[in-house]
A and B are shown apart, each in its own frame.
Chain A
Amino acid sequence: MRAPLLVPLVLGGLAAFAASQAPVSDSDLFWHLAVGRDVAAHGIARLDTYSWTVAGRPILVDQWLGELVLSMAYAIGSWRGIVTLRALAVGAIAAIVVWTSLAERPRRPLIAVLAALPALALSRFAWTDRPELLGLLCFTVLVALLRAGRRGALRAFALCPPLLLIWANLHASYALGLGLAVLVALERMLVDAPRRRQYAALAVACGLATFVTPAGLATWTSSGGHFLAPPRFVQEEGTPDVTTLPGALFSVALLATLGSALLVPGIRGRNALFEIAMLVPVAFVSMTATRHLVFFPIAAAPFLSKWGPNALAAVWAQVRAAWFGARRTRGLTAERESPVHNKERESETQGEGTREHVRPRGRLATDGIAAAIAVALLIGGALTAPTEPDLSGFPVTALSQLPAGPGLLNRYDWGGFLIWYAPATPVFVDGRLFPYVGDALDDYRSVIGLHPDWREALTRRGIRTLLVLPTDAIAVHAADLGWPVLARTEKYVLLRIP
């Protein structure tokens, strides 16, 4: 039975509307935009041109397509274009997650929404204006494709390689998608022996697709390095914490999945291996860094939709049997979902699938109305979206006093902002991170944190100006040393080094 689109589309529209109400404020967006603009104008640049510390050195080009898309959105609609792109991606993620959950239990939209709720809530923390969001959309699509393929829609599997080809050029998170696709292909080879060759070809095609990038093999090494050694000092790369809201949402999904798997007696045989392939690797990846938390709830939503109610019904059946014996046997909603009636329900579902063909017009009309609502919400969101970025977290008033040319040591978080708003002043470090690791980043931390060799780093680098927080150790100590203050607010201090 095809899942109805009403609920997914309306929820997707609502998510898109909500996502469009927040202004642009992500520091990394600015350097992504600058790269995208340069890709559009001059092609893909493989050497750094934005910093003075690693200028001319090789940089990663693994997100060029995502950066180009962002740049095009900006070219079309300025900051509102960026917000609309974000809203579109968020709306699509929400709609697909709910749809995938609904596909596992088409007659229970409320259950599907509840199962998708951790994913929807957690995706809020991924509403960043970066290629990463497009990578998350690709992941959501891949989960939907793999589940559709497992349900019998084999053409869905064929869409995986092209998806991975696009994804590998958008964002490094494609590595998770590739791993998942290969694992599911292996699982299919085990349980669907007659199509073994097709699945092997699928796995190979998925792998090859990820090489079709300007970075070639380097695409693999960059994502692998990032995954195995995440820079923990970056907040979103920190270890997941279940006492924070994102961590709590993740733990709800993870523990609900574990609880359902333990309690439901029905996941066995063919289903089991597929679910293990889909859930276990993603759970591990989600546990590696805060920014990865969202992956597991997305992957688990269909599982929870399918098995969660059965688990609750199984518990209730056990408790009822213990406390009430056979005396009370009717009037309980959960009973309809109990494993005893599982087969009955499935045959009922198949029957509904037949009825679907009898009533295509009604379904089509409902879906059309839902699509119209979603589009209306998206347009409404775009029209009411903030037209200017929120720069309250950046040193805006310092821009006019920044010296041109090399010599500025800026705060890491402000690098992207400066690349976009002060192109005449190359940065010391910025959110691109990897070009700076083991080099400029060490000196940056040494100076900012007053490490023993901070003076030596200052001299060796030829740093002439500092743009830092007033609470940074170097700024506090600079006051003791009497360094001239060029500008100072509550948010930043611009210092000249004598």
Chain B
Amino acid sequence: MSARQIAPLYLAAAAFAIAVSLPGGDPDTYWHLASAKWMVEHGQILRMDVFSSTVTGQPYSVGEWLGQLALYAAYLGGGWTGIALLRATLIAIGAFFLTRAALRVAPAPFAIAITAFALALSEITWTDRPQLFTLALFPMLFELLLAARAGRTVLLVAAPPLFLIWTNLHGGYALGLALVAIFAGEAILTRRNAVAFAGAALLGLAATLVDPGSLGLGAAAAHAASPPRFIVEEAPPDVLKPAGFVFAMFGLAALAVAIARGGTLFDALLLVPLFWLGLSAQRQMPYFAFAATPFIAAGTGELWSRWRPASRFALPRPAIAGIGAGLAAVLAFSIATAPHAPDESRYPVAARDQLKGTTGNVLNEYDWGGFLIWRVPERPVFIDGRLFVFLPDVLTDYEEMVFVRPRWREELDRYAIGAVLLHPDRPLVAALRDQGWAVLTQDANAVLLRRPVR
């Protein structure tokens, strides 16, 4: 096997080894698992709230029922290690196809290096949720479309079934539709395989309608245009933080390569909208990096060869075999030592038992909602990461209380809050202490307060 053929496997293996060794613990993992558990137990898709005290029975959909079931299946199969293995597998799939896409147009060292940076940037979204499927499927579709654009149009028949699965796995299918639309747009403008690409786009779009709990394309677009900024991953990129800095480097490298080397209509159609998307929210940054990887790798490779025309990048076979053996060892070690439990150090673990004994409704920290749904199912939450079902009223009222705004007392009474579980530095905690609420338990993470008996 040549380096070009083996490199995607190596990068996938490296990504797998890193991803599997990371502990889980994302707050949303828990409510995804709980949703799937409910669906398995009831034999139907979950279409209404069953976890909160504030919106009980209200209809909602996150359009990810299949992704939730897949996550739960991994959990049933291997516990938290099963989830880590699923995560690592999906990331490895993404790494494999992204490396292949870059290697199509760039010398191996540049393709591998830029792909590695793109994967490093994507680490911010390596959370155990259905969005992992988009992390795998986006590069897969990208590579498929690149291969079709290069002449293998027969591959486009895979697009509709891919969308059929994707739309049921995660709302990120909208990104895939945008990607195929870009390829179709270029094909139409340049009259190259226009019918094949347009057909793939239309059939792909039709396939996304076959979803019993779809998020809907309109909802996905509205989400992209108006992300809920108070959620960290929905905030705009901060280029002075590591992930934002890498994203900015991708954007600026694309700009510099474009100025130095130029590009094509396809590059413009692909990179311009995805750069905007990356600028719109942190969680979207990796997708621009993925799309820009082949362009930047090819550009830097070309500029390098202009500067050092005699450069040769071939590795000797023994070295390739040696790297492979090393990677295999790392892979085996990382699987053997994969974490068996999530990292729950930021959750109110110590308050769990006390919380079970409280009465009245619970007002909980937003970020802890998922954890409580899974770990303390007997106490319905006030709010959790499903967000949209809580918009706008519940979230507004939550902020009114937690930040001690003028109506905080009325809201606390209206929701019949009997226990409050928050970070100790929340204004409400200070106010309730002064009001005589009893502190049931407190540590550096959390404080649990109980309403005084009147």
Binding site for B on A (CB under 8 A): 228-230, 232, 239-243, 247, 251, 254-255, 257-259, 261-265, 267-268, 272-273, 275-276, 279-280, 283-284, 287-288, 315, 318-319, 322-323, 449-452, 454, 470-471, 473, 476-477, 480-481
Contact = CB atoms under 8 A, between A and B. Distances in A.
Contact of B236 (A240, A284, A470, A476): A240
B276 A480 contact: no
B172 to A, nearest CB: 19
A263 B427 contact: no
B280 A262 contact: no
16 contacts: A242-B279, A243-B225, A264-B262, A275-B259, A276-B255, A279-B255, A280-B252, A284-B239, A318-B189, A318-B265, A449-B427, A450-B404, A450-B427, A451-B430, A473-B404, A477-B430
B236 A451 contact: no
A247 B278 CA distance: 13
B425 A255 contact: no
Interface string B189-223: 11110000000000000000000000000000000
B430 A230 contact: no
A263 B265 contact: yes
A476 B271 contact: no
Contact of A258 (B260, B272, B406): B272
B256 A280 contact: yes
Given A268-B262, A477-B427, 20 more contacts: A229-B240, A239-B239, A239-B244, A242-B236, A242-B276, A243-B225, A243-B227, A258-B251, A258-B254, A258-B258, A258-B272, A262-B268, A279-B255, A284-B239, A288-B239, A318-B190, A322-B192, A450-B430, A452-B424, A480-B431
Contacts of A275: 259
B431 A450 contact: yes
A221 to B, nearest CB: 17
A230 B240 contact: yes
Contacts of B435: 480
Contacts of A230: 240
Interface string B264-278: 110110011001100
Contact of A243 (B190, B258, B280, B424): B280
B434 interface: yes
Contacts of B254: 258
A262 B229 contact: no
A388 B103 CA distance: 65
Nearest to A479: B406
B425 A451 contact: yes
Contact of B268 (A259, A268, A280): A259
Contact of A262 (B237, B258, B431): B258
A477 B268 contact: no
Contact of A265 (B189, B236, B262, B406): B262
Interface string B230-248: 0000011111100010001
Given A450-B430, A471-B406, A261 B190 contact: no
Interface string B102-118: 00000000000000000
Nearest to B435: A480
B408 interface: yes
Contact of A255 (B248, B263, B264, B272): B272
A277 B262 CA distance: 16
- Secondary structure of the B side of the interface? helix
A247 B236 contact: yes
B333 interface: no
Contacts of A470: 406
Nearest to A454: B430
Contacts of B267: 262
A284 B248 contact: yes
A78 B408 CA distance: 45
A239 B237 contact: yes
A184 to B, nearest CB: 15
B427 A473 contact: yes
Given A239-B237, A318-B265, A251 B279 contact: yes
B174 interface: no
B230 to A, nearest CB: 13
A322 B276 contact: no
Contacts of A323: 191
B225 to A, nearest CB: 7
Interface in B405-438: 405-406, 408-409, 424-425, 427-431, 434-435
Nearest to A307: B259
Contacts of A476: 404-406, 408, 431
Most buried by B among A242, A283, A319, A449: A242
Contact of A480 (B258, B259, B434): B434
Contacts of A454: 430
Nearest to A257: B255
Contacts of B424: 452
B226 interface: yes
A297 to B, nearest CB: 14
Most buried by B among A276, A288, A473: A473
A257 B434 CA distance: 57
A492 B93 CA distance: 57
Given A251-B276, A477-B434, A283 B255 contact: yes
B238 A239 contact: yes
B229 A241 contact: yes
B265 A315 contact: yes
Contacts of B408: 476
A287 B239 contact: yes
Contact of A239 (B236, B264, B404, B427): B236
A477 B279 contact: no
Contacts of A228: 240
A239 B247 CA distance: 14
B388 interface: no
A263 B270 CA distance: 12
Contacts of B251: 254, 258, 283, 287
Nearest to B426: A450
Contacts of A272: 259-260
Contacts of B237: 239, 287
Contacts of B190: 318-319, 322
Nearest to B270: A262
B271 to A, nearest CB: 7
Contacts of A257: 255
Nearest to B279: A242
Nearest to A244: B236
B237 to A, nearest CB: 7
B400 to A, nearest CB: 10
A279 B254 CA distance: 12
Contact of A287 (B248, B259, B403): B248
Contact of A276 (B227, B235, B260, B431): B260
Contacts of B252: 280, 283-284
A199 B337 CA distance: 58
A324 to B, nearest CB: 10
Most buried by B among A258, A280, A284, A481: A258
A255 B279 CA distance: 11
